[in-house]
Chain A
């Protein structure tokens, strides 16, 4: 079975600073995928970024990048130049194997950006 661990329940960051949200994972499968989702106070789950286990380069999507360290089984999300609108819950998630049985989520990190 797979497991996701997010060790930061909450974080306060000054606007315009870079933010790193930690995520470690555990799986015995060689093929897996890692995701980050954002959940603002309105409640919807917004896809941010994806990294496949065989991808050699770290994924990037605009201000988001995923620092993938396979040997350490970590998949940290980096947000550059944080904005007030980045305040939200952030969830790390993964599928393993064929992915048919859905995603396994971490417990989330509540990020608050301060002006």
Chain B
């Protein structure tokens, strides 16, 4: 839907290991976002990108890094996964329309054991 693909869809990993989640878009949008969703918190912004190699921190960026070497791919890396990073991760794009048309990927469910 809307050309956004998140991979993997599900992942279980061990504490202390690095993990990379991928967001791929096919529509060449400039702005891309990573959110995490936890019960009782809604969605919270981790990092966002406004172009190739241009990224910035969001509300809950500690323990996460991102990279955007191509317009179509936005990678989220958990440098050393902790149990507190167990969450559902959503990628989103912003369209160049009057309402910006924020559209979300299907999400990645990450469990850190």
Chain A residues with CB under 8 Å of chain B are 4, 33, 35, 37, 43-45, 47, 50, 52, 91, 93, 95, 99-108
Contact of A107 among B1, B31, B40, B92 (CB under 8 A): B40
CB neighbours (8 Å) of A95 from chain B are 100, 102
The answer to whether A102 and B99 touch across the interface, beta carbons within 8 angstroms, is: no
* Bound Cα distance A81, B74 (Å): 40
Contact of B99 with A52 in the complex, beta carbons under 8 Å: yes
Per-residue contact bits, chain B 36-50, to A (CB 8 Å; 1 contact, 0 not): 000011111100101
Query: From A44, which residue of chain B is reached at the shortest CB distance?
Result: B106
- In the complex, which residues 19-38 of chain B have their Cβ closer than 8 Å to any Cβ of chain A? 31, 33, 35
Q: Using Cβ atoms and an 8 Å threshold, which residues of chain B touch A103?
A: 33, 43, 45, 92, 102
Q: Which residues of A contact B88 (CB under 8 A)?
A: 43
Q: Which of B81-113 contact A (CB under 8 A)?
A: 88, 90, 92, 94, 98-104, 106-107
Which bracket fits the contact residues of B? 20 to 34
Can you list 12 A-B contacts (CB < 8 A)?
A: A33-B100, A47-B102, A101-B58, A102-B33, A102-B35, A102-B45, A102-B48, A103-B33, A103-B43, A104-B45, A105-B42, A105-B44
B79 at the interface (CB under 8 A from A): no
Q: How far is the CA of A37 from the CA of B102 in the complex (A)?
A: 10
Does B62 touch A at the CB level, under 8 Å?
A: no
B7 → A minimal CB distance (Å): 15
Chain B residue nearest in CB terms to A35: B102
In this complex, what residue of B is CB-closest to A34?
A: B99
Q: Which of B50, B99, B104 contacts A45 (CB 8 A)?
A: B104
List of 5 A-B pairs having minimum Cβ-Cβ separation, nearest first: A105-B42, A45-B104, A50-B99, A105-B43, A107-B42
B14 an interface residue at 8 Å Cβ cutoff? Answer: no
Cα of A107 to Cα of B31 in the assembled complex, Å: 24
State A84–B56 Cα separation when bound (angstroms): 41
Report A-chain residues with C-beta under 8 Å of the C-beta of B107: 43-44
B48 CB contacts on chain A under 8 angstroms: 100-102
Known: A101-B48, A103-B43, A103-B45. 10 other contacts (CB 8 A): A4-B42, A43-B88, A43-B106, A43-B107, A45-B43, A100-B31, A102-B33, A102-B45, A102-B48, A107-B42
